[in-house]
Amino acid sequence: MTDAPANRPVAGILWMVASGLLFVFVNAGVKLIDGAIPAPQAAFLRYALGLVLLLPTIRPIIDARLTRRQWALISSRGLLHALGVATWFFAMARIPIADVTAINYLSPIFVALGAALFMGERLAARRIAAVVIGLIGALVILRPGAREIEAGHLAMVGTAFVFAISYMIAKRLSDELPPVVVVSLLSVSVAVALLPVALAVWVPPDLRTVLILFGVAVIATLGHLCMTFALRAAPITVTQPVTFLQLVWAVSLGYFVFAEAVDPYVILGGGMIIAAVTFITFREAQLKRRAVTPPPQATKV
């Protein structure tokens, strides 16, 4: 078992800021590819090229002495995450970066729903209201009937849903394994899962595409590690609101680098989703504190 998260809010916030910036750069790298190769192949190369970075983690993985149950969870997460990454690459080639970033915030909303439906967690009225607000925020972004919903938008909603399931599995694994092991085995399992699909649609990539995807692999790996360290340094109630900056940076990147128009509905809808996610996060933290607070007569250890 890993140690409980420390209470170092400044460090947690700084790690999460770094993580958000890195993930925005990841989006930029994927956008630069601009559909040069099929989405499953691009997703596979992103993870396969990054495996060289994980060589130092071989010893920690061996030392972790994974159980059969943990291997099953890792494999399941790899398959699900592979699907989500492929649809994410598909969406990135078709819709603005700001849309991708805003819709991806739906993942915690789906996590809250999944915890209630499949893990027996109770959804109080205020949390239900927050979930509804988050879903309305998604409708504000998509605006069905007011504009054409592109395949990229639907793919990104599917990505957020699949990533939510992956997150729930990762949350359980993080309670049992070191962060570097969880991150490393995700990369390995996703690469293995994507290999047969990538081979089926393979197109010889040029050097530029390979170099960009290697850069994406490096930056994404660093981003995952920074996010993991943020969650280890401070409670999620401290780090979660910081993720709002990703939308600001994504809008700025899309406007200044890729000449994408600033859509006020995306900002409004993304803000609604982030507000809902932040509220759900704070409520979850409050309930956990109440659950673990011992009665006055309990013996302290």
Which of 227, 226, 235, 107 lies closest to 159, judged by CA? 107
pLDDT of 187-242, one tens digit each?
899 999 999 999 999 999 999 999 999 999 999 888 878 887 887 787 776 787 78
> For the residues 125-138, what does the mean pLDDT come to?
89
Distance of CA 275 to the CA centre of its chain: 17
Which of 246, 206, 207, 237 lies closest to 101, judged by CA? 246
- Please say whether the beta carbons of 216 and 22 come within 8 A: no
Distance CA(35)–CA(92), nearest Å, equals: 9
pLDDT of 51-86, one tens digit each?
988 888 899 999 999 999 999 999 999 999 999 999
Contacts for 70 with CB less than 8 Å, ≥ 6 apart: 173, 176, 177
pLDDT of 260-274, one tens digit each?
999 999 999 999 998
Distance of CA 145 to the CA centre of its chain: 29
Backbone angles phi, psi at 147, to 5 degrees: -150, 165
pLDDT of 88-118, one tens digit each?
999 998 999 999 999 998 988 888 888 777 7
